[in-house]
Every structure is written in C-alpha cells, then in structure tokens.
C-alpha cells in the first residue's frame, strides 16, 4: 500500500489551505491523499440537526468537516485518490500516530482556537516535534508569497551527518517542483578580532561556504542550487531567506533518552516566524 500524504483538518481556514497543499503534494509524488479529523468530541452548535438525524452532534460535525475537505481536494486535483477518516482522541496524539504510516503530513498553523497570527497552533507545534514523517506547517494568512520574491526551496544547512534526511527531502521538493534549491548557512565571527594571518585561523564565512558545498554534493544534477552564507543568527537568517520562497526545510533531531524529536531554538523560531510554509524533517537517531 502506498504511503499517503496525510492532512489534518478541522474546518478552519488554515486547515483548508493545508488541504490545497496536500492535494498538490500528493499529485507531485503520485501518492494517495488521506484527510483526517481528530477530536475528543467537544460540543459544537448543531444539536437540533443531529437529533433529527438520530446521530451524535460531534459525528455530524466531523463528517461535515471531512466531507468539505474531500470535495475541495477532489476539485483541486481530480486525479488524486482521496480517503477520509474521523479519529477519536486528542488531535496532536492522533496525528502523531498517523505519521507512522504517512509519506508526509500537512497542517495549518492554527485551528479553531484563534490565537494571534504571530503564534503557532499548539497541535501543529506538537506534531511537528514528534512526527515520524516530514511535516509541512502552513502559517495562517491569505498568501505566503512576498512581493519581489522568487519561487524556490530554502534549506537550513546544519551538520551534514545530522541533517542528511532534510537535505534529501529539500532536493526532492526542488526536483518535483522544478525549482532551485537555496542552501542557507549562517555564521558569526569569534568574539576576538579575526586577522586571517594566523595559519590556524579560519575565515568563518569561508568555512560556512565549504560546509554548504559539501551538503550540496549529492543534490541531483538537474536541480539548480544557490548558496547563501549570511553573517548573523541562524533563525533570523532563515526567516529573511524565506521571504518570497515556496518552502523552508529544516531538520529535527531525536531527543537523548526521551520521546519524540527536539526541534531546537532555530526550528521552533522559524515555525513561528517564517513567511512561507515550513517542512520539518525528522532525522534518524
């Protein structure tokens, strides 16, 4: 059975945007699309309708949510196989379980709780940090594109040995979408003065460029690559690089002696602040 692209839906506008992205991703990868709704069956309006249908209120609402999402996906990508399911349980834990058999997962940045736009929904943040497959997170907003930007996949470059899965995933996305891959590695000068005259003293910018070149060695030949090595904090550099981009890809790493993935300050920061969708890719232990 082909691993599906799984989209978590809840009827909110961000989750419908996630359906659009999921349908496109499924079409690109030739994968089925699975739309899931998960809840502890909190009560919503509609008791009268439910009583008339002799069905629980929560079931009527849930089926309506997944039905609307299914119709939207089929309209957007008629050739994609679409299935739906309603799961009982805490949304974050149900979605993490779903990630074990998914090719990738897509989530909106916030759900019905309606926190401010600058904050990320707790479900999306929890799933991104614990999922066993790549997770696309789409921030809330009418458009992700920034005027003057250019479509491309942005990759956050860390240590090659630790971020191999993120590199492969970013390269695949660039190849499937026919977009360039821009690798970003920020650097900072030591606190002391750098002279460049000491044989044992390395230029931090040159080191960053060499690290990026090493990471890009295995990228398919058909993918155009760009290199960006700005000076400054990594999170700020990635947020700036993501302006006008199609997608920002970051790696997530296993906790030492604990459950799930450790996003770290950089991944956590870009999930909250990036102006484009973010893909969090779990790295093997």
The answer to whether residues 97 and 34 belong to one domain is: yes
The answer to whether residues 179 and 132 belong to one domain is: no
In a domain, 223, yes or no: yes
The answer to whether residues 172 and 105 belong to one domain is: no
| Residue among 220, 140, 136, 207 at smallest CA distance from 178 | 220
In a domain, 110, yes or no: yes
Inter-residue contact 69 to 16 (CB < 8 Å):
yes
In a domain, 51, yes or no: yes
The answer to whether residues 74 and 184 belong to one domain is: no
- What pLDDT was estimated at residue 176? 97
Question: How many structural domains compose the chain?
Answer: 2
- What is the number of other CB atoms lying within 10 angstroms of the CB of residue 49? 13
In a domain, 283, yes or no: no
Beta pairing, strands 247-254 & 261-262: antiparallel
The CATH number that applies at residue 119 is 3.40.50.620
The answer to whether residues 121 and 169 belong to one domain is: no
Note down the domain range covering 173: 153-278
The answer to whether residues 78 and 109 belong to one domain is: yes
- Domain boundary (138, 171, 194) is at 138
The answer to whether residues 105 and 204 belong to one domain is: no
The answer to whether residues 126 and 201 belong to one domain is: no
**pLDDT tens digit sequence for 201-252:** 689 999 999 999 999 998 999 999 999 999 999 999 999 999 999 999 999 8
List the chain pLDDT tens, one digit each, 285 residues.
689 999 999 988 889 999 999 999 999 999 999 999 987 654 444 444 445 555 556 677 788 999 999 999 999 999 999 999 998 888 889 999 999 999 999 999 764 444 333 345 678 888 998 999 999 999 765 444 444 568 999 999 986 555 789 999 999 999 999 999 999 999 988 766 555 555 556 899 999 999 999 999 989 999 999 999 999 999 999 999 999 999 999 998 766 545 555 578 888 889 989 999 999 999 887
In a domain, 41, yes or no: yes
- Domain boundary (110, 138, 166) is at 138
- What pLDDT was estimated at residue 218? 87
The answer to whether residues 157 and 269 belong to one domain is: yes
- Domain boundary (111, 138, 165) is at 138
Give dist(CA 11, CA 30) in Å, integer.
Answer: 26
Give dist(CA 206, CA 277) in Å, integer.
Answer: 29
In a domain, 143, yes or no: no
In a domain, 145, yes or no: no
The answer to whether residues 51 and 118 belong to one domain is: yes
The answer to whether residues 10 and 88 belong to one domain is: yes
Q: For 45, how many CA atoms within 13 A lie in the half-sphere containing its CB? A: 0
The answer to whether residues 186 and 257 belong to one domain is: yes
In a domain, 227, yes or no: yes
- What pLDDT was estimated at residue 154? 98
Q: What is the pTM of this model?
A: 0.86
């Amino acid at each position: 059975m082909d691993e599906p692209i799984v989209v978590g839906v809840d009827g909110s506008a961000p989750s419908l945007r996630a359906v659009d992205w999921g349908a496109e991703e499924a079409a690109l990868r030739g994968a089925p699309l699975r739309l899931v709704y998960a809840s502890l069956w909190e009560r919503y309006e509609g008791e009268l309708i439910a009583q008339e249908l002799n069905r629980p209120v929560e079931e009527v609402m849930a089926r309506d949510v997944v039905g609307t999402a299914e119709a939207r996906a089929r309209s957007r990508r008629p050739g994609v196989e679409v299935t739906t399911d309603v799961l009982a349980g805490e949304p974050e834990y149900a979605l993490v379980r779903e990630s074990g058999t998914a090719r990738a997962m897509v989530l909106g940045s916030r759900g019905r709780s309606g926190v401010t736009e600058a904050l990320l929904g707790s479900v999306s943040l929890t799933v991104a940090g614990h999922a066993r497959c790549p997770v696309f997170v789409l921030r809330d907003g009418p458009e992700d594109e920034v005027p003057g930007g250019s479509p491309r996949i942005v990759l956050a470059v860390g240590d090659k040995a630790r971020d191999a899965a993120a590199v492969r995933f970013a390269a695949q996305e660039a190849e499937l979408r026919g977009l360039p891959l821009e690798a970003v590695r920020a650097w900072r000068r030591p606190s002391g003065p750098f002279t460049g005259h000491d044989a044992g003293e390395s230029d931090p910018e040159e080191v960053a460029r060499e690290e990026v070149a090493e990471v890009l060695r295995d990228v398919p030949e058909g993918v155009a690559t760009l290199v960006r090595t700005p000076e400054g904090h990594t999170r700020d550099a990635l947020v700036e690089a993501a302006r006008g981009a199609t997608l920002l890809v970051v790696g997530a790493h296993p906790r030492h002696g604990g459950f799930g993935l450790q996003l770290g300050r950089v991944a956590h920061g870009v999930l909250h602040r990036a102006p484009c969708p973010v893909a969090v890719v779990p790295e093997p232990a």
